[in-house]
Amino acid sequence: MNYEPNLIARTLKSNRTYTLVALIPDPQVDRYWQAPKSGIEKAEAELSQYGVVVEQLIFDPYSVDSFLAKAAEVSSLHPDGIILAPIFHKEVLSFFKEWQDQQIPYVLFNTQIPEAPSLSYIGQDSYRSGLLAAKLLHYGIAQPATVLVAHVGEDISNSAHLIEKEKGFRDYFVHNNAADGYEVIQQTFDDPKNASFVHQIFEVKEKSPNLKGIFVTNSKAFELAFYLEKFGWEHVRLIGYDLLPQNLDYLGKGIINFLINQNPFGQGYWGIQQLSDFLIFKKDASPIKYLPLDIITKENLEFYLDV
């Protein structure tokens, strides 16, 4: 008779609770993570009428041991679904296998790991965002020039998304016949709290007197912007990520030229929505949900502050 069940009505009648676990870095340690945390909380509030409950497990984004302990706690809870930012690539792989064996669907956000059999990935295409950053610098800098890929306070060997950003950045210059006029260098900077951070900046500037552009691969462009302003290096164009208050301050001053918005709020929000659609409404989840690569300048910033 071509009958189709009303999934919403069926869900309300069952009174079942769906317990999801969000494994996310501590926003008290790195403010970037407050936005996806808020997105997760908004999605939970909207879906609470359907029995969705999200338990947050918070780990230190600079401590592998903290991540391992919280990931093990996730497994012990046997939730209906998991959302996580897998920033420790090597360490998370064994948990993927464990959750797969337990038949627990999980969604990744912020960091894409192609070999992971996740339900879905929510975030940007890291490689294309690197291409975009290179194009922005290329348009604004006359050759010959040195451009720097700066990884700030990260374990680059264990950060797949940052490696992809750098690869995209380098490939742009190769594929657009610009490699001859531009030297692309890389520096993995220590934690900005360390005295060595300042020494590394001066070392790069001393070794590369023709430095004209910097691409910061994470949300910490403001850490370099502080010194560009302090030492009068405003001629060095600076591109980074994310609408953190510190970044916005330097964007307004013109020290940061462009920010690429990764929509971290949407990453958390859509991750919970994807899990809920799959578990409650029996919808097929899209394996990848790429979010837009928004280019933010001081001229259009006001249109993105509430996004």
CATH code of 232's domain: 3.40.50.2300
Please list, in sequence order, all residues whose beta carbon lies within 8 angstroms of the beta carbon of residue 111, skipping any fewer than 6 positions away.
85, 86, 87, 89, 123, 159, 160, 161
Please check whether residues 64 and 143 belong to one and the same domain: no
Least confident of 22-36, 67-81, 180-194, 214-228: 180-194
DSSP 234: T
Please list, in sequence order, all residues whose beta carbon lies within 8 angstroms of the beta carbon of residue 45, skipping any fewer than 6 positions away.
none
Cβ-contact 99, 75 below 8 angstroms? yes
Range 118-143 average pLDDT: 93
pLDDT (0 to 100) of residue 1: 41
pLDDT (0 to 100) of residue 6: 56
Please check whether residues 161 and 195 belong to one and the same domain: yes
Torsion sign, CA atoms 196, 199, 203, 209:
positive
Confirm whether 178 is domain-assigned: yes
Give the pTM: 0.89
Cβ-contact 35, 265 below 8 angstroms? yes
Confirm whether 272 is domain-assigned: yes
Q: Give Dmax over CA atoms of the chain in angstroms.
A: 78
Please check whether residues 64 and 149 belong to one and the same domain: no
Helices 196-207/221-230 angle, 10° precision: 70
Q: How confident is the model at residue 139 (pLDDT cuts 50, 70, 90)?
A: confident
Cβ-contact 217, 151 below 8 angstroms? yes
Structural domain tally of the chain? 2
Range 119-132 average pLDDT: 96
Q: How confident is the model at residue 12 (pLDDT cuts 50, 70, 90)?
A: low
